[in-house]
Structure 1
Amino acid sequence: MSFLKSRTPQPTATRAWAAAALVDVVLILVFAAVGRDAHHRGDVVTGVLLTAWPFLLGAAAGWAAARAWRNPFSPTRAGVPVWLGALVGGMLLRAVTGQGVVLPFIIVATLSLAVLLLGYRLVAALIRRRRHP
């Protein structure tokens, strides 16, 4: 029966990647909501989802490409690929679907998504190092 245990995902590991994925989704939605609030008025929920979906799909591609679930809070192994996936994938999907892709938006998205998607992972890494030197 020990072979069954080795194939069963560890609850802590499952919770870790689920938590990191949820934080990524929430932060991308926050990014979209702040941008929508600054530039557009109207239907808030639909507008935020319209803005966020390309970045969410890009982040999911980054998660898959990096297999981020293996170390979801790592700034380099998960954070950078998720950030670049959200940024590049998001911009490509926006361009293909006729949404705006202008240089000032690319700059703001690059910096904002980096701060959001890398920032909490850097904080988590610092806390982990302090607890386990």
Structure 2
Amino acid sequence: MKERIRNWPLWTVIDLALIILFAILGRREHEHALDIGGIFETAVPFLAAYIVMTLISRPWLTINRVWPTGLLVWLGTVAVGMALRIAMGSTAAIAFVIVTILVLGVFLLGRRLICSLLSKRSAKQQNA
């Protein structure tokens, strides 16, 4: 039986914070207001998409996996987030889509890669 990840809610909160950071950085870069409403408007489609994709992936077992779970959560967050963004009346210019793919990839996959490397390192040290 697979081992449950006890602190998966913490990792979920960290991922959500990274998505909010993505919204803040994007708004700042394009000289949009950094008020809560604007940040919320930018982040909500991606936060909602992330939550759906994460729950589908059974986070209590997979929250730190890069392959295939991390890849699916990342791409699903981008795709569903873009669809929600458009449905909410915002735009999705190709440049925005590309930046979103890259930044959320670095954030969501990068966090998982770091966790994976640290976990392997810790396991090696315990076995030594």
TM-score bracket for the superposition, by shorter chain length:
0.7 to 0.9
Question: Which residue in the other structure is 2:120 paired with?
Answer: 129
Deviation above 2 Å: which 4+ runs of structure 1?
40-43
Question: Which residue in the other structure is 1:5 paired with?
Answer: none
Percent of pairs identical after alignment?
A: 33
Which sections of structure 1, spanning at least 5 residues, go unmatched?
A: 1-9
Report the alpha carbon displacement of residue 77 of structure 1 after superposing the two structures with TM: 4.4
**Is 1:103 paired with 2:126?**
no
Question: Which residue in the other structure is 1:21 paired with?
Answer: 12
C-alpha contact (below 8 Å) 2:24/2:39 kept by paired residues: yes
Which sections of structure 2, spanning at least 5 residues, go unmatched?
A: none
Report the alpha carbon displacement of residue 127 of structure 1 after superposing the two structures with TM: 0.9
Letter in 1 for 2:5: A
Distance 1:101 1:118, change over 3 A: same
C-alpha contact (below 8 Å) 2:49/2:80 kept by paired residues: yes
Question: 1:29-48, aligned counterparts within 5 Å?
Answer: 29-42=20-33, 44-48=35-39
Question: 1:1-133, aligned counterparts within 5 Å?
Answer: 13-14=5-6, 16-42=7-33, 44-133=35-124
Partner deviation per Cα, 1:74-96 (whole Å, 9 max, x = no partner): 11243222212210111000111
Quick one: distance in 1 between partners of 2:19 and 2:76?
12
C-alpha contact (below 8 Å) 1:33/1:48 kept by paired residues: yes
Partner deviation per Cα, 1:7-38 (whole Å, 9 max, x = no partner): xxx9x834x21111001110000000001111
Quick one: distance in 1 between partners of 2:33 and 2:115?
36
RMSD: 1.8
Segment drifting more, 34-43 vs 17-26: 34-43
Q: Normalised by the size of structure 2, how large is the TM-score?
A: 0.87
Larger radius of gyration: 1
